[in-house]
Amino acid sequence: MRIVRQAPAPGGRLARHGLIGLLVLAAVASPAIEGALSAYQPYILIAAGLLGLATILGLGAAPKISSAVQSAALAASMLGLSITAFDLAGRLFIPDILSVRPDNRYIERWPPYPRVDRLAPNVVYDHTLYGDLALFTGVPTDRDPRQVRFLTDAYGFRNTPPVAAPVDLVLLGDSFAMGSGTTQDQTLAADLGRSGLSVYNMGVGGASPWQEYINFVLELGRIHPRPGGTLVWLLYPGNDLEDVYGPADLAQIPWRGMLGQAEVIYDTFRNSSPLAQLTEQIGAGSLAGMVDRETFPNGRPMLFYKPQAREAKLSLADVESHGNFPRLVDSITLASQFAQANGLNVLLVVVPTKDEVYSWLYHGDPPWSSGTEPSGFSQAISKVSANLGLCFLDLKPAFVEQSRSIYQQTGQSLYWYDDTHWNAVGQQLAAQILLTRRCRAPGSALCCG
């Protein structure tokens, strides 16, 4: 008996070739889908689509053409899958490989409303890192390395669980409240907590006052603040007017449904790619022109960030005429009203920029000659505080006055040499200044006097 082999039906051949083409497309596109090469996503997807189509057509062509197409498709697929596998494995070691700062790795868009940032929940990070400005310059001798332990709670805020209830102080603000660049037990929140007060830190690096207001209103109820406690809100002249603002009325916020939240979570996963982080670090080198380098009295390079220095120089009129100033005032007004309705006092604190405290170094003036006059931003916030009947504190005078004596006694500065933020000494000084306002009367944490 002779067995007759029948040629595959044309429809079956086409379906098989189509499936192979789709597999090739997925393999080649996988680095863009997973996030490893997200910066080149459009080009990779176009190339993957063309190669997948070529595979479908080439498999049905003459043997030599089919063989060449198969080889090209296999090589491209193996390359794409190898990059993706390497990147997925690297996610386990990203802090060690790239020295990625927690600010960059763990600040994420909040899925229910991605215009608001929070930290990733339940983070345990303990690595050596250096400052944001040294990342921009890319010069190894600019770095001020330090070991940083960084923990977050289940809700995406930098706290060491559990925080004792009732809470005496709610700390609100951006990276200065969060304690950027400083290890967990030397942050402002930790220093305040050592005084016996229970402190809940809601600071999120890079957040605007509007984002801070949203987080505060949504989260205050669950942290059980003590009636008579204090909302300590740090405001920063370096960028608070330039940050993101949105609707003040919570009813106008377009909350994301399940599919929308899943999209945000997927984007966050892609953005945490080690190769994407490496690309970001390389790109940060283009910001080197934004950094000024001066020599501190001890011979160490001290870096300053030009854009924040320009913002800090705005006059009162400039601040009040800024397009985002009304939105800033609305955020302060609504958050303070909500705080007071929940039995909290409100203390607005203006944090000086690094170049304000060390303006003598930044501008080449005689050593320790920085002025203590308030910035235009500080004057504006002081007026807002007075109009709303809130407490107000400008840290600049004390920081300027203490910067010299602390250096002469200890040889230390108040800010990291390679960073825009306070170091542990600056955080401790801020805590000491705030604690001078601690009330003796029961039922109140900090007073206005």
- Confidence class of residue 366 from pLDDT cuts 50, 70 and 90? very high
Residue 5 has pLDDT above 50, yes or no: no
**CB–CB of 171/179 below 8 Å?**
no
- Predicted pLDDT at 3: 41
For residue 42, the enclosing domain spans: 10-90
Q: Do 188 and 41 belong to one domain?
A: no
- Predicted pLDDT at 97: 54
- Predicted pLDDT at 441: 58
Q: Do 36 and 165 belong to one domain?
A: no
Range 221-237 average pLDDT: 94
**Does any domain span residue 445?**
no
- Give me the DSSP letters along 159-189: --SPPPSSEEEEEE-SHHHHTTTS-GGGSHH
Q: How far is CA 336 from the centre of its chain?
A: 24
> pLDDT digit string (tens) for 319-363?
999 999 999 999 999 999 999 999 999 999 999 999 999 999 999
**Does any domain span residue 54?**
yes
**Does any domain span residue 442?**
no
> pLDDT digit string (tens) for 127-156?
889 999 998 898 999 999 999 999 999 999
Residue 367 has pLDDT above 90, yes or no: yes
Find all residues with CB under 8 Å of 249, minimum gap 6, and list them.
Answer: none
**Does any domain span residue 2?**
no
Q: Do 42 and 188 belong to one domain?
A: no
Residue 77 has pLDDT above 60, yes or no: yes
- Alpha-carbon distance of 74 to 27, in angstroms, equals 9
- Predicted pLDDT at 10: 57
- Predicted pLDDT at 58: 75
- Predicted pLDDT at 419: 96
**CB–CB of 36/273 below 8 Å?**
yes
Task: Between 68 and 94, name the one with better pLDDT.
Answer: 68
- Alpha-carbon distance of 312 to 314, in angstroms, equals 6
Q: Do 280 and 316 belong to one domain?
A: yes
User: Mean pLDDT: which of 87-101, 103-117, 136-150, 433-447 is highest?
Assistant: 136-150
Q: pLDDT above 90 covers what percent of the chain?
A: 61
- Predicted pLDDT at 42: 82
**Does any domain span residue 1?**
no
**Does any domain span residue 125?**
yes
Range 76-105 average pLDDT: 77
Instruction: Give pTM, 2 decimals.
Output: 0.88
Asked which of 90, 116, 144 is the last residue of a domain, the reply is 90
**Does any domain span residue 443?**
no
- Predicted pLDDT at 45: 82
Q: Do 372 and 289 belong to one domain?
A: yes
Inter-CA distances, 411 with 134, 300, 347, 407, Å: 21, 11, 32, 4
Asked which of 38, 73, 90 is the last residue of a domain, the reply is 90
Q: Do 137 and 203 belong to one domain?
A: yes
- Predicted pLDDT at 21: 78
Asked which of 56, 72, 90 is the last residue of a domain, the reply is 90
- The token duo for 428 is 């401790």
Q: Do 183 and 63 belong to one domain?
A: no
Q: Do 196 and 120 belong to one domain?
A: yes
367 burial via Cβ count (<10 Å: 0-12, 13-18, 19+): exposed
- Alpha-carbon distance of 160 to 190, in angstroms, equals 9
221 burial via Cβ count (<10 Å: 0-12, 13-18, 19+): exposed
CATH of the domain at 422: 3.40.50.1110
- Predicted pLDDT at 276: 78
Q: Do 213 and 344 belong to one domain?
A: yes
Helices 376-388 and 325-341, axial angle in degrees (round to 10):
40
> pLDDT digit string (tens) for 267-312?
888 888 888 777 766 655 567 789 999 999 999 999 999 999 999 9
Domain count, the chain: 2
Range 390-396 average pLDDT: 96
Q: Do 100 and 75 belong to one domain?
A: no
Q: Do 113 and 255 belong to one domain?
A: yes
Instruction: Please count the other Cβ atoms lying within 10 Å of the Cβ belonging to residue 97.
Output: 12
Range 90-97 average pLDDT: 66
> pLDDT digit string (tens) for 28-63?
888 888 888 877 788 888 887 888 788 877 776 777
Task: Between 313 and 83, name the one with better pLDDT.
Answer: 313
Lowest mean pLDDT among 153-162, 223-232, 435-444: 435-444
- Alpha-carbon distance of 114 to 260, in angstroms, equals 9
DSSP-assigned beta bridge partners for residue 147: 128
- Provide the phi-psi class of 164: left if phi over 0, else alpha when psi is between -120 and 50, else beta: beta
What's the longest Cα–Cα distance across the chain? 107
Q: pLDDT above 70 covers what percent of the chain?
A: 92
- Predicted pLDDT at 11: 60
Instruction: Please count the other Cβ atoms lying within 10 Å of the Cβ belonging to residue 250.
Output: 13
Residue 166 has pLDDT above 60, yes or no: yes
Q: Do 47 and 16 belong to one domain?
A: yes
- Predicted pLDDT at 1: 36
Task: Between 228 and 50, name the one with better pLDDT.
Answer: 228
- Predicted pLDDT at 52: 78
Q: What is the mean pLDDT of the chain?
A: 88
- Alpha-carbon distance of 335 to 355, in angstroms, equals 29
